[in-house]
Every structure is written in C-alpha cells, then in structure tokens.
Amino acid sequence: MATQDQHEVRKDKLGALRGEGWCFPNDKKPSITAVALQERYAEDLDDTQHYIAGRIMTARYMGKAAFLTLQDRSGQIQVYLRANDLGAEVFEQAKSWDLGDIVWVQGHVFRTKLGELTVWASATAVLVKSLRPLPDKFHGLQDQETRYRQRYVDLMVNQDSKEVFVKRSRLMKLLRDFFDQREFLEVETPMMHPIAGGAVARPFVTHHNTLDMDLYLRVAPELYLKRLVVGGFERVYEINRNFRNEGISTRHNPEFTMIEFYQAYADYKDLMALTNALFSVIAEQLTDNGIVTYLDHEIDFSKPIAEMTMDEAILEHHPQLTAEILADESGLLAYLNTHKISCKEGSVLAQMKLQLFEDTVEEKLIQPVFITEYPAIVSPLARRSDHDNTLTDRFELFIAGQEIANGFSELNDPEDQAERFAQQMAEKEKGDHEAMPYDEDYIRALEYGLPPTAGQGIGIDRLVMILTNTPTIRDVILFPTLRHKSLEE
C-alpha cells in the first residue's frame, strides 16, 4: 500500500475513534519504564501489576493473541495481548492499532519460551493515533537528508542516532560539572549584538524595528565575558550558541555550540593544563579506556596533549622546507606558488604561514596536539608574546585534523587593543568581510582594568563528532541548518 494510502487509512481510523468519543486521552500514565522493568526482573518474577506506555514498533497477530514491541524513552519491551484477558471487543480494537501508535498497557511480567521478558496485558488503551507510517523496520530511515529534516522520525527508528545525542547530553553535563567544581560561574550574555565582535567571522544581520537599528547574531561571546571579568567575576563560562554567516560543510554549520571560559590571573599555559585535566575526565567518563575510534583513526585521549609551535608543525609536515625559507617572505611566497597555495593579495609573512598551515598541515594533526605561537596579525584579541612581539601567547587544539579549541592569554592593554581593532578595520575596508569591527565600549572596559586573564573556546559539535565516530557535523546537531524545502517537495 502506498504511503499516501496508509495516511488516508489511518485518518479514517482516527475518524472512527473520534466517532466513538475518543479524543487523545491524557488520563493514563506509566508507572515504570521499559529498562526499569528489565532491571527489576533480571532474575525473579512476581505478579505485580505495572503500567507502561510507549510507541508500537513491531506487531505480530496470531488469531486471538498478539505480541507488540513498545518503545519508551529508556528502550523497548515486549507486550502480550490475549482476547481471553482483554475481552473480544477490546482485542479487536487493539488489532486495528498501527505501528507508530502510542499505547498504554497494564499487566504483570512473565518470560516467553525464548526467555524474553514480556508484559502480559490485562488492560490497554490507545493514547495517540499515528497518522503517518514508520519507515520500513528492516531498513530504518537511511536517507540522510530525511533524517535531518525529520529528526523526530530518525530518533524513533535509529538507535545509533539516539545514542549520539545521549552522549552529547552527557558531555554537556560533564562540562558544567567540571567548571562548577573549579569555582567558575555560569553566565548568559546577549545573542544579539550591536557590534559583531569577539571573533574573525562574517555575521548574520537583523533589524530591530522599535530601536531602528541593525543587530548582529552573536559570532562569539568573548568580549561580553571579558567585560564580566573586568566587573569582578574572575572565573566565568558560558555554553553558547554562535552564528556565522559562512559556508556549510561536514565541519561547519551556521549555528553551532561552544563553551567559552575565562580565568583571571592565568595565562595560556594554565589553560593548556586545565584542558589536559578536562580531557582526562572526558577520557574516563565518555571513552573506552581513553581510546576513541574516529573514521580510520584511533585517537588516544589518555595521554597528555602534545605541544608544537606552528613553525615546528609546518616544518615537520614539509620536510623539503627549511626554517630559513619559512622566515623569508619572498622565499615563502615562492614556495607557496610552487605548491599552488594562494593567499590574499598583500599578505605578509605571518599570513602566508597561517595559510600554509591551514591548507596543508591541519588535516594531518590526528592525535591531540596544541599548536602555539600564532602570529599577532591574525590574533587580534590575544596578548603579544614577551619573547617576540610578532607572536601571541595563543594555542589551538587539533584532534583528528580538526580545530577543537582556541585559547590565549588575553590582551588587556587598551592601547594595544585599540591599535589591533584599527588594523582589523583597515582589513575590512580592503574587502575582508570577516575582519573584526572597532568596539569602543570594550576599549572603555579595558581602560577600567582587565586583570591578567586567559580565555578559551571549545567547539562542542566537533568534539561530539570525534567522541561518537560521526563524520559530519549535521549528525551531531539535532536540527542542522538546511535549505528550505516545502512538504510538497
């Protein structure tokens, strides 16, 4: 029977139920979950009556008896229906149930000849009539785009998908517990900004009618969180949604989740140590002995995270390149041209290095590694290094070829910060849509005095991808951004 035909048949069944006075009842509640039943009766059985409720996932009818599989939030359990127990009329109603209907059952447990724990129904009721059929039980919901657009169906029928989001939730709780235990204060900052600052990114723009002003969806909470440190909240964190009007790929979604945290009287090395401690907890609670399989790689979370400078990483993965060429602007430009690596017109040496690193080295950084000594010209909010003012006290954490975290000692010199903002504005005037704007209020905050501070952001979506062996970011976001498509299409 065609799907549309099933839809019409189910609507007819709903109409028949309404004709009998039925109207989506809300007076039947479960007393126990499927998994709790399995745990309670792992060994001995008794005659206690239990109430369960769930969605019908499978059904087998055999004359005057039937076996159903119900699925609730915890898992599945089998139910046995018999006309002799329910009465002929009720049993006939049950025979009209469809896969996907949500039903309530009262009964005691027993084990079938095959040893499967089953609820022997003494009373039943349909709570919700499902008007659309579930995907084929043998193949599930396999079309990727349908899984993203109809995540509710994906979660019903694909246990692997459900487990990804359960693990994501566990990670979120772990992060909160980790920072709460270290006296960080969880805060909330605006998601609509008058200035799109805090990261080098292209923002989404909206307009507030009453105020008659443009606003920007948050690209990062950084500048607001550091304002709070100025105000005296010396340890803060925010699990935040960010929005960047950029490309979509297996690693990028326009709306994504990060955790950002800031600690006064700390530097970037303190944050590297803190990150090591965090990943030790993640390894203990969310991995199998610290090892995670991701695509073709085994990622070891149990060891301390390695550390390399950007120059060291470039030279390791470009053995034909010398340190002398890497330090010479014309020599490096010739090397880039030979390897067909293009930079923006007018790029200086530091920008060329970063382009070479991003294009050819990042994807090769499989095991967890901190890359340090980022150039100041591409790090407008980071403190300059004491040993080389062209570099900053900054690191990025890479795992499985992906940037997972970015942290640095914060720039708290208001005059230096003003110069960096001016430099960013010059880049914007040259056509760089991602360059950061000049934020006068943030400079004012720095003039009141930001304690020596270090801050870091961790991309939660990408981290979940690695922890769940998921190749695309859309599979770890419940409702990823998709091109609009009508139901008719």
Contact status, residue 350 vs residue 390, Cβ threshold 8 Å = yes
Task: For residue 28, give the nearest of 123, 99, 96, 130 by alpha carbon.
Answer: 123
Strand order across the 213-217 sheet: 192-193, 213-217, 205-208
Strand 402-409 and strand 369-372: pairing?
Answer: unpaired
Distance CA 392, CA 410 (A): 10
Q: Cα–chain-centroid distance for residue 319? A: 36
Q: How does DSSP classify residue 305?
A: P
Which SS3 state, helix, strand or coil, does residue 348 take?
A: coil
233: which residues sit within 8 A by CB, 6+ positions away?
185, 187
For residues 13, 15, 19, 20, the Cα torsion angle rounded to the nearest 10 degrees is: 30
Residue in the structure block whose two tokens are 């690193």: 357
What are the structure tokens assigned to 397, written together?
């954490």
Residue in the structure block whose two tokens are 């990028």: 252
Which SS3 state, helix, strand or coil, does residue 448 take?
A: helix
Contact status, residue 420 vs residue 435, Cβ threshold 8 Å = no
Distance CA 413, CA 265 (A): 15
Residues annotated as binding site?
396, 403
Distance CA 270, CA 383 (A): 14
Give one DSSP letter per residue of 177-226, joined into a string.
HHHHHTTPEE----SEESS--SSSSPPPEEEETTTTEEEEE-S-SHHHHH
Reduced DSSP (H G I as helix, E B as strand, rest coil) percent helix, strand, coil of the chain, to 5: 35, 25, 40
Residues annotated as binding site for Mg(2+)?
396, 403
